[in-house]
Chain A
Amino acid sequence: MVLSRNKLYSILIMACVAGYIWVCFNMVNKQSVLEPVEVCFIKHFTNIPCPSCGSTRAILSLTKGNFNEAFNINPMGFLVAFIMLFTPLWILLDIVAKKNTLLTFYQNLETYLKRPKIAIPLLIIIMINWIWNINKGV
């Protein structure tokens, strides 16, 4: 898919808004007696957690300032929280300044990540995180 500036930005904004709604929903829901809502397909059907299962809980403990706990639940929570914090700001800056620095950054990042030298270590890190996830039973 060739992403134009507006298309990429609207996808990112929608994803961020959905993420914030999801985090707020979980914050409110945690205090009630209801069962936790599971949306992950892999976990639902196979009972094996996927590489990013637990990100929501990690972000929730990040909001309380428990960095160690967040790292122990799922280190990917840091990455997701970082993206959720900074993309809306970057998009806002781009819109105000009428530039497309985020689009250029996104395209450069895509070509950069496709290099085997970068892609294979990242893949290994994700696999290790996944094995850790399965072992600790997130």
Chain B
Amino acid sequence: MEAQKVEMFIMSNSKFFESHQINGIRERLIAIDDSKWAMISTIQLKDPTTILIVSILAGSLGIDRFMLGDTGLGIGKLLTCGGLGIWTIVDWFSIQKATREKNMQKIQQFLY
């Protein structure tokens, strides 16, 4: 793919991925065919900041995990009042990383 398109994609979407993953994504994007651009540019990624806000406000109900698609863990959090409050606090700090990993999984379907 054209380097200009790839740079544009990276610039507008870098906050959705871990910093160490961005170089890999750039290399893959340059290598793949141009026909995949339509799919990749319209992909729906989850904003780590939004999930963090949800986690702080409604983390005890497991809503953040449900939003990420981890239904099983969400139910676990819901049934235990957010893991007796401990899991809620742990997730305030780990949910952004989890979101970025989810985004990486999503884009990987199109990259390979």
Contacts and interface: CB of A to CB of B under 8 A. Distances in A.
Interface string A1-13: 1100000000000
A91 interface: no
B77 to A, nearest CB: 9
Contact of B85 (A40, A51, A106, A114): A40
Interface residues on A, range: 20 to 34
B72 A39 contact: no
A41 interface: yes
Nearest to A109: B72
Interface stretch (A14-22, A27-35, A62-70, A92-100): A14-22
Contacts of A52: 78-81
Contacts of A79: 79
Contacts of A39: 81, 84-85
B78 to A, nearest CB: 6
A91 to B, nearest CB: 14
A22 B84 contact: yes
Nearest to A126: B78
Interface residue SS majority, chain A: helix
B105 interface: yes
A50 B72 contact: no
B69 A41 contact: no
Contacts of B72: 106, 109-110
Give the one of A40, A79, A83, A106 with max B CB within 10 A.
A40
Interface of B: 60-61, 68-73, 75-76, 78-85, 88, 98, 101-102, 105
Given A1-B102, A22-B84, A80-B80, 18 more contacts: A1-B68, A1-B73, A1-B101, A15-B76, A18-B84, A19-B80, A39-B85, A40-B60, A42-B81, A50-B81, A52-B81, A55-B80, A76-B79, A106-B72, A109-B71, A110-B70, A110-B72, A114-B69
